[in-house]
Amino acid sequence: MYQATLSRRSYRFSDLRQLMAKASPARSGDYLAEVAADSAEERMAARIALAEVPLKTFLQQLLVPYEQDEVTRLIIDSHDALDFAPISHLTVGDFRDWLLSEQADSAMLAQVATGITPEMAAAVSKLMRNQDLILVAKKCRVITRFRNTIGLPGHLSVRLQPNHPTDSLQGIAASMLDGLLYGSGDAVVGINPASDSLPLLEKLNYMLDDVIQRFAIPTQSCVLTHVTNTLRLIERGAPVDLVFQSIAGTEAANRGFGINLALLAEAQQAALSLNRGTLGNNVMYFETGQGSCLSSNAHHGVDQQTCEARAYAVARHFSPLLINTVVGFIGPEYLYDGKQIIRAGLEDHFCGKLLGLPLGCDVCYTNHAEADQDDMDTLLTLLGTAGLTFLIGVPGADDIMLNYQSTSFHDALYIRELLGLKHAPEFADWLTKMHITDDLGRLRDTAANHPLLLALQGERP
């Protein structure tokens, strides 16, 4: 039992699960799950009580039972007590103060990352203002490598997302080359296929690999199909760079995705066996989003933001090259408007970085949400200042296959110019070599006989 008194009224919370849920900022998904605070006053009382909870409590009072959930078992069994030691004496409120102090610099945050559980990260985020989430995330340094180096301070990468509603190879190639000519693609060239046809998925892999190899682009490709399809593609000898999978924060929700930890481990080993990376061996790419556990009725009464943080434990176990929260994609049932989407994006980025993950964000919304592109501009700007690892680049910010609004190649240009952010260094060198950017990283005018344009016309330079 936890309690706090506010305005002469005593509020009681039956267990840690309820306390965490009631302390969460208001969002539609928690109201849908009937776990949210009934009032702003109750929410504040829950935060006051949560601030007094020792961090050690999260290792003892588990929100999802150990016996029922392999994600919980992963969190507890992989917890590093030695790395936890420097902060083990703190309460959640003390932890917030420590994170904001000068003592918690980049080196110290990296040292304690594996000692922090997702529930600890989620708990402290509930006590933080937006500026706190930004400031701490900015101090976190997470660097990964496959064919280039992602996550360096002062850098921002872009996933080039050339989706097409019929998986037209020509249409995908046009969007891909368009993005490259705008300097996008250093995180990954990643296609969300409309089909699960294995022969078509294989063609997409070969097409992406052909462009990357022909022009010696220091990047990686990914066809974002189910992990079982990727395993079959590897068995067929397809040129797979990264293994993709959507993941969630409970075993039951992951079962709804048709996955478990053993399957992800099998896929990771299969990708590693190909030895396609030139600079590193981070071969996994994950996507998450608040609300996935609730949408599959697999949240165990845990609030959606804490469930989201638990998904990061799954990702962390497999040392991904990339992981991003598709923050506004699930819809207004979970994040109702621009305010909720902005807050969720900052929370996800903070929690992922604090746990040692290369967290990116699909700054996005669905057309039936109470949000617009101005809200996305705000979130993009805030995440850019927070040290976002990568964002999404879609032609015109309008994904014509998935039917949602994201960020464009031009948005990436905006945030790079505003904050002086650079491409992945190997990719930046390639852009200069290909006369796409000048020596200062600025876009150059592209002549009609540029090799990439000739390739689009089916001509070899």
Cα dist. 237→20, 204, 231, 270, 277 in Å?
A: 47, 13, 10, 11, 16
For residue 161, say whether it is annotated as part of any ligand binding site. yes
- DSSP β-ladder status, 149-150 and 144-145: antiparallel
Angle at CA 184, nearest 5°, toward 178 and 185? 105
CB atoms within 10 A of CB 276: 18
Whether 192 has a binding-site annotation, put simply, is: yes
Asked whether residue 245 is marked as a ligand-binding residue, the answer is yes
Q: Is 398 annotated as a binding residue?
A: no
What are the CA-CA distances from residue 319 to residues 243, 268, 270 (Å)? 12, 10, 15
**Contact between 16 and 25 (Cβ < 8 Å):** no
- At 76, give phi and psi (nearest 5°): -75, -45
User: How many CB atoms neighbour CB 403 within 10 A?
Assistant: 10
Q: Where are the alpha helices (DSSP H) in 195-303?
A: 198-214, 227-235, 251-256, 261-274, 292-295
295 is in an annotated binding site: yes
Determine if residue 297 is labeled as part of a ligand binding site: no
Return the bridge partners of 54, or none: 91
User: For residues 109, 110, 115 and 116, what is the CA-based torsion angle, rounded to 10 degrees?
Assistant: 50
- 159 labelled binding-site residue: yes
On whether 251 is known to bind a ligand per the annotation, the reply is no
In sequence order, which ranges of 236-372 are alpha helices (DSSP H)? 251-256, 261-274, 292-295, 304-317, 338-354
Q: Which residues are annotated as a binding site?
A: 159-161, 192-193, 245, 287, 295, 362, 401
Q: Which residues are annotated as a binding site for substrate?
A: 159-161, 192, 287, 362
Q: Which residues are annotated as a binding site for adenosylcob(III)alamin?
A: 193, 245, 295, 401
